[in-house]
Structure formats: structure tokens, C-alpha cells
Chains A and B, each alone.
Chain A
Amino acid sequence: MITYLEAIRLAQQKALATDPRVFLYGQDIGNFGGAFKATKNLANEFPGRVLDSPLSEDAIVGMAIGAAIEGARPIVEMQFADFSTCGLNQIVNHAATLFYRTGVPCPIVVRLPSGGTSGAGPFHSQSMEAIYAHWPGLVVVTPATVEDVYTMLLEAVAIDDPVIFCEHKFLYYHLKAEKLPETSLPIGKARIARAGRDATIVTHGAMLHESLAAAAELAADGYELEVVDLRSVKPLDTDTVLASVARTGRLLVVSEEWPWGGVTSEVISRVSTEGFGLLDAAPMRINAKDTPVPYHPDLWSVHRPTASTIAAAARRLLHI
């Protein structure tokens, strides 16, 4: 069985094997294989192309940008998504502006080990897709399955534009697949993860699995929830979301991000402005609580949405 984490490693291995322009740069990713072992053995297999960087997020991203201008396809690893704030300037002001300003694209992939895990605390748990999606010039993806994390990482490398690759740490070890696909939906297309007729849940990342569990819980009561996995939050597949809401008339958006100005508010804004007539009830959303992500497992487990809070919200949406 292939884990989500192993799929990330295998995608990088394939990218290195098939595209001589690809190289990897990041902290501890060489012989050590990375904090999560997402690059295990790759330094060995591809000598000189899997490079340890200093503890220097601005330099890591800045160097990737310069390398990309020269025709390379760097994949850089942030040890945790949270530390990408130290490279934020290079990402949003340099990589994201380059094509619009100069006509020269910036094909970098910035891997962000994202999201909460039990005991990780305020600085090793953040979900940052919303802030990166805010800036023009970036593609922001949030693969939620083993298959997607593999194909989307390969697609991210092939894209000429900068890609913020939000891989979810909660999924690293327990999500498994038999084999990896050759093809998939392209980045920018959402996927109906579960079909239903009574309400639509739109979600992404680890919350896909909480939402699917909630949908299973309601199915026992005779309600069929449709679950849409966004896959990429920028571009955001508004058409698939609207088509689902057109079938169900009800919308619940679920995200592990903080509530202010994130993916949930963006989806609700689009459905309300473009599909108001499709709605039979006010749209709802659930986010993490508006505090730093707590460290203690008992606090953490209620900080983020879970299957049971999602199911409870779905019941309110369905007036049951």
C-alpha cells in the first residue's frame, strides 16, 4: 500500500527521473531525507539534484525563483507550511509578480506540509491556502487523496506558473492507496467525492475525509449529502460548485482554515452572487476556531471541524 507521504516522494522521484530541469532544494532534504522523509533516498538516487539548504526560507524561495528564470524546475520544501511566512515576500512579491511584470513565467513548486495534527501546536499546524490564494499570480492546490497528491504534484512541476502545493500532514501516514494513477482531473477541476441530492458540502484537504464521514453518518438517517472536493483553491472550480448547488439547493462549506476571508467565505460569496436563486436556505460554513491552533490534543480536536460538528451543521442546514 502506498501512503499519501510516499506518493509525494514517488512523484518527486518521477519528476527527477523524467525531467532533467527538476531539482529539489530545502532544509534537511538531502541525505537525511527531509523532516517527514518525503525525499528519502532521493539524494542518493539523483546525486547533486537534491540539495540541502541553510535554514533560510527567503533564500530557498528566492533561489528557486532565480533558478526558474534560468529554465530550471525547482521543487522547494518548506519544513512546515507555517515557516513559509519567512519566505512569503519572495513568494507573493517576486514569484507571483514575475510573469505579469516581465512576461517570463516562474515555474517553481513550493511544497507546504500543511494543516493540523494532534500535539503540533500553534506553529506546526497552519493551513495557509487562503493567504496565498489572495495574491494574483499563484496556483494554490490542496490535494486530499493519495492519487491526487501524486498526479497533482507532477502536474504542478509541469506548470509554468508558481504552484503553492498544500499537502496535508494529517493525511501523510494513514491515507493509503493500492496503486498510483497515470491520469487524473487537471488542476482547476473539482471532484464530486460523493454524490447526493439533499445538500452540498464543499471542502478541501483533510476536511474532505471529515466531511465524507459526516455524510456517511447522515446517510444512516436517510439523507444524501453531496461532497465536493475542491482539489485546487486557486483556480476555484466555481462551475462544479454551482452545478452541485443547483442539484441540492443547500450549501455547507467546510475548511480547516481560520474563518476570516478564507476559502469558505470565497465559495459562499461566489454561490451567493452567481447562484442566489439556486439556494433554498442560507448557505452555512464551518471553519477552525479563530485562535492559534492549540497544542493539547483535547483542545486541538475541538479547534478544527470534525465529522461530528460537520454532521451537526448539516442537520441544521437540513432542518432536522
Chain B
Amino acid sequence: MSKKPAPVTESDYLKAYRTMLASRVLEEKLASLYRAGMIKGGVFLGKGQEALSVSVGIHLRRGDVFAPLIRDQAGRLAFGDTILDTLRTYLGSQLGSMRGRDGNIHRGRPRDGYYAMISHLGAMVPAVAGALLARRLRGETGVVGATCIGDGGTSTGAFHEGLNAAAVDKLPLVVVVANNQYAYSTPNSRQYACADLLDKAAGYGVAGHRADGTDLLSCLETLRQAVHDARNGGGPQLVVAPLLRLVGHGEHDDFAYLDKSLKKSAVGADCLELAEKHILSQGWKTAEDLAAWRRETENEVNTTADRVRREPPPDPGEDDWAALSRPEYREQYAAA
């Protein structure tokens, strides 16, 4: 395994920041559409987790596999998802990639390596491992697969089975744990008993990396290294980043269970604000530049939302109601 990837540059940082900003603005819009009753289904946001998420997506390239999870709007955009398709799924447009059949955080385009998560947490870990196994069998090298998970998801059997199986086959899998202190209302004290989630890396025999989830530079550097190591034969990489979910579990959740002291602690910082401060302190951009970027993104999000709201919903009469690809195998019988 070659030692060090190229250092994170100013332009890398700014590009990542812009994607974080787009994610934040888009999610603010989703929240307001949710309050207005216009969203089909639930809204689960990644506020406070954008630095980590974007750092995953940004280090993957075409041909890699990415299975994002609940709070990965930023990583999704970095991997090539669009504001348009995001809004189409949330607003229930027929033109969305999931055609109304599944929505929101469950969206994806598996053919492009952008996997569509199932709700069952942990399940995507073995799926990405299997994708990498298939690529290896085809003789492809230099491919990386990444998936994200929460502190809660690390307690599932699927997380364990997937990471263990990937480790046995030394697959180029990057598993990124956003340790946001809660799984819905469950605090970490009720989630695991090891001192640190990163301790699990040794148990699986995989490399471990820690990032400060509130610090974009730390996330970028850590993910760059982890993806680089996976790509160059280092086997599975477990990344753990402490941070805090800055919103409720979903928009329906008032987060009353939040331990207020966490908010004031280091993990409670807002990664987007810290990134802005960093950009200003480095003199890379002015406050006016950043405000203009925000306005631009807001404009794009608002215009796109207005357009999508005029698109038709899925038509039950047009759905072929077929769960199998082969027409001969579809059950004709239905006890109507």
C-alpha cells in the first residue's frame, strides 16, 4: 500500500464546502416543505453531519460503489445525485428515479453504483462488500465501495457480518460511522459498551481511522486516506467520526431527549459554521462571497422545487405492479 495520498488543497476544501452548503440549503427547504405538508413520506436530515458525509462522496469516483444512509444528503450530492432528483422523490413526482415506488432516503440508481438503501440498518454493508467481490471476480482493480452507518447501526448483525466477511476477503470497503451520539432517542450509553467504536476495527482485523466529524479538514483528510488505502489493497477501512445530530431524528421529532451539555461540548459544533470560519480565516473567500454562494443555491433549490411541484404524481393506473422482471413469472392470480 502506498503511503500518503495527495494533500487536501484549498480548492478541494472549497468544493466540499459548496456541496455541504447545497446539502444544508436543500435540507432547509425539505424541512419547510415538510412543515407545509407537501412532502410525501418522512424527512430525516443530516444537519451537523455534512462534513463527514461530503468527504465520503467526494473521494469516490465513477465506477466506485456508494451506499449512503439516512443522513447523507451531502455525500449523495458529492457522488453525483442532484437537487432535482432529490426534490422529485421528496415531492412525489412521477419523474423521480424511484417513480413513487420508494422515496426520499431510499433513493438511488444502482446501475451507476449509487445504491438505494433499504431501511433495515446494516444491510448495505454486505451488499457493498458483495459488489466489490463481483468486481474483483471480473478482474477489476482500484475500485472502492463505501457505505455509511450510525452508532445505532453498528449494533446490528448485518454490520458485523458484512464487515467481518469483507475483512476475510480483504475487500476494498470503507465503512464510515457517524457517531452522532443517538440512535433515535437511544444514547450511546445504551448502544454499546466498548470504550470507543473505533475499538471494533481491531476486532474485525481492519484498519481504523478517526475523524473529527465537526471539522471538514479532518474529515477530508481522513476519508482521503481511508479511500486511498482501500483502493491500494489495504482491505476494509473503518472510519469513526464523533459529531452531533443537530436536528431531531426526523422532522416529526422534537429532540426533547437531547442532553443539552452535548450541544455545548466539542461534538455539538456545527461543521458548516466551522468550515465558513476556516475559509474566512484563511482568506480564501470573503463573507460576501459565501453569502452569494448561499443565495445562488437557495435560488436553484427554490426554482427547482417550484418546477417539480408542477410535475405529475405517479399514476396507479400506469404502474405495472410487477415485483419480478420477467412477465411470465408474475402471478396472475390475485384475490381481489
Binding site for B on A (CB under 8 A): 23, 25, 48-49, 51, 53-54, 56-72, 74, 86, 89-90, 93-94, 96-105, 136-137, 139, 159-161, 186-188, 234-236, 238, 269-270, 273-274
Contact = CB atoms under 8 A, between A and B. Distances in A.
B102 A63 contact: no
Interface string B299-336: 00000000000000000000000111110111111010
Nearest to A73: B134
Contact of B98 (A48, A101, A159): A101
B295 interface: no
B116 A102 contact: yes
Contact of A48 (B108, B116, B137, B164): B137
Contact of A72 (B134, B162, B329, B333): B134
Interface string B123-165: 1011111111111011000000100000000000110011011
Q: Which 7 A-B pairs have the closest CB atoms?
A: A62-B126, A63-B130, A66-B130, A67-B134, A66-B131, A59-B161, A137-B323
Most buried by B among A67, A98, A235: A67
A96 B158 contact: no
A62 B325 contact: no
10 contacts: A25-B133, A56-B161, A65-B130, A66-B133, A68-B134, A70-B135, A72-B137, A98-B110, A99-B322, A234-B331
Given A161-B325, A161-B329, A59 B129 contact: yes
Contact of A66 (B128, B157, B328, B330): B128
B329 A273 contact: no
Interface residues of B, number: 51
Contacts of A70: 65, 130-131, 134-135, 138
Contacts of B200: none
A8 to B, nearest CB: 21
B200 to A, nearest CB: 16
B108 to A, nearest CB: 6
Contacts of A94: 118, 120, 123, 127
Most buried by A among B115, B127, B137: B127
Nearest to A161: B324
A71 B97 CA distance: 20
A172 B138 CA distance: 33
Interface string B54-66: 0000000000010
A316 B118 CA distance: 49
Contacts of A236: 331, 333
A267 to B, nearest CB: 11
Contacts of A186: 328
A89 B158 contact: yes
Contacts of B252: none
Contact of A102 (B108, B128, B169): B108
A102 B137 contact: no
Interface of B: 65, 97-99, 101-102, 106, 108-111, 115-116, 118-120, 123, 125-135, 137-138, 145, 157-158, 161-162, 164-165, 168-169, 322-326, 328-333, 335
A51 B123 CA distance: 21
B30 to A, nearest CB: 20
A159 B326 contact: yes
Given A64-B130, A89-B120, A101-B98, A69 B323 contact: no
A63 B137 contact: no
B155 to A, nearest CB: 14
Contact of B109 (A58, A102, A137): A102
A188 B331 CA distance: 9
B252 to A, nearest CB: 23
Nearest to B140: A70
A274 B127 CA distance: 41
B102 A101 contact: yes
Contact of B123 (A62, A68, A69, A273): A62
A50 to B, nearest CB: 11
Most buried by B among A51, A65, A71, A98: A65
Most buried by A among B65, B98, B128, B324: B324
A58 B137 contact: no
Most buried by B among A72, A139, A186: A72
Most buried by A among B133, B145, B169: B133
A93 B120 contact: yes
A160 B328 CA distance: 12
A21 to B, nearest CB: 9
Nearest to B158: A58
A269 B336 CA distance: 13
A110 to B, nearest CB: 13
A61 B122 CA distance: 13
A192 B287 CA distance: 79
A67 B123 contact: no
Contacts of A93: 118-120, 123
Nearest to A189: B328
A64 B123 CA distance: 12
A268 to B, nearest CB: 12
